[in-house]
């Protein structure tokens, strides 16, 4: 992961997006779950916690998708990941499973921060965490986004500190500035649909300020359905020798 102090400010003008050509979708096999599966190996091969495997079985997933097969073994080891893959390939499960696998919720501190560009996606990701941590009752998940009273969020954080925080950059930054959200123990920093946040200069500045409020040595994971040639190097400025998929 790149040092916070070395992170460059990208204040240059927005450029015309050049979308990387998408790889043709692999043929779908008749399996349970919603993700495209092209490997015969199962989730058990990743040596995940029994509690996580139980939740995966409950969800009806049998085999990892190509993206999951490539990313999860490295992600659970703490490697930085920069992943571009089509919607429906199970990108969300990569960071959800990888962070839950590494999570040891022994203290009431935030270990995982996931940010995305819309309230709807933040809510959806928080539900995925709840689904896969079903048999990990000690794990607490909090979701914070604009459009709702920030006072309610602040009261919620005063009552209990979630181990996993999901939200939109604007609301997360407001909570940090108000000293209601402390990220000094953070171990995992994730951007989902990272291009949507980093292409907009105001949202990019929010992400950079949040990034600087977190410790060195954390794991960085960024995911996107489309990643332009202009935004890919911006993503990599946050990261330390990432695995690119």
pLDDT tens-digit series, residues 172-197: 999 999 999 999 999 999 999 999 99
Mean pLDDT for the chain overall: 85
pLDDT of amino acid 93: 95
SS (H, E, C) 76-140: CCCCCEEEECCCCCCHHHHHHHHHHHHCCCCCCCCCEEEECCCHHHHHHHHHHHHHHCCCCCCCC
Residue 150, CB-side half-sphere exposure with 13 Å CA sphere: 14
Has this prediction a pTM greater than 0.85? no
Cα 103 from Cα 100, distance rounded (Å): 5
> Residue 129: pLDDT above 50?
yes
pLDDT at residue 111, as a whole number: 98
Average pLDDT over residues 42-59: 91
Sorted by sequence, the CB contacts under 8 Å of residue 85 that are 6+ apart come out as 66, 67, 91, 223, 225, 245
- The CA distance from 110 to 183, in Å, is 6
Please give the residue that has the higher pLDDT: either 207 or 2. 207
Q: How far apart are CA 118 and CA 94, in angstroms?
A: 20
| 81 half-sphere exposure, CB direction, 13 A CA radius | 31
Percent of the chain exceeding pLDDT 70 equals: 83
- CATH match of 34-244 with 3.40.50.300: yes
What is the rounded CA–CA span in Å between residue 162 and residue 41?
33
* pLDDT at position 21 over 60: no
Beta strand 141-144 with 164-167 is parallel
For residue 106, pLDDT over 70 is answered with yes
Q: How many CB atoms lie within 10 A of CB 163?
A: 26
Predicted confidence at residue 4, as pLDDT, reads: 52
The residues, ordered by sequence, that sit 6+ positions from 165 with a Cβ below 8 Å of its Cβ are 110, 112, 113, 114, 142, 143, 144, 172, 181
pLDDT tens-place string over residues 83-98: 998 888 889 999 999 9
Which tokens hold the place of 171?
Answer: 């609301």
pLDDT band with cut points at 50, 70 and 90 for residue 3: low
Domain-wise residue ranges, the chain: 34-244
pLDDT at residue 88, rounded to an integer? 83
199-239 pLDDT per residue, tens: 999 999 999 999 999 999 999 999 999 888 889 999 999 99
User: Residue 244: which H helix or E strand, with range?
Assistant: strand 243-244
pLDDT at 42: 84
């Amino acid at each position: 992961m790149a040092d916070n102090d070395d992170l460059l400010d990208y204040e240059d003008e927005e450029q015309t997006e050049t979308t990387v050509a998408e790889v043709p979708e692999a043929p779908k096999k008749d399996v349970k779950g919603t993700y495209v599966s092209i490997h015969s190996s199962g989730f058990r091969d990743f040596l995940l916690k029994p509690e996580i495997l139980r939740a995966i079985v409950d969800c009806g997933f049998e085999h990892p998708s190509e993206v999951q097969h490539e990313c999860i073994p490295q992600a659970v080891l703490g490697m930085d990941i920069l992943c571009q893959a089509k919607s429906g390939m199970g990108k969300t499960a990569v960071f959800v499973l990888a962070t839950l696998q590494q999570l040891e919720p022994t203290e009431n501190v935030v270990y995982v921060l996931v940010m995305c560009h819309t309230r709807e996606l933040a809510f959806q990701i928080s539900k995925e965490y709840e689904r896969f941590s079903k048999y990990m009752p000690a794990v607490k998940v909090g979701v914070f986004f604009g459009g709702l009273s920030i006072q309610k969020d602040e009261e919620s954080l005063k009552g209990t500190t979630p181990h996993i925080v999901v939200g939109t950059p604007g609301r997360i930054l407001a909570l940090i500035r108000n000293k209601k959200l402390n990220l000094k123990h953070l171990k995992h920093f994730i951007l989902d649909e990272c291009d949507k946040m980093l292409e907009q200069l105001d949202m990019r500045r929010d992400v950079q300020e949040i990034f600087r409020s977190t410790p060195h040595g954390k794991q960085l994971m960024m995911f996107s359905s489309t990643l332009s040639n202009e935004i890919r190097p911006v993503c990599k400025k946050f990261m330390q020798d990432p695995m690119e998929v």
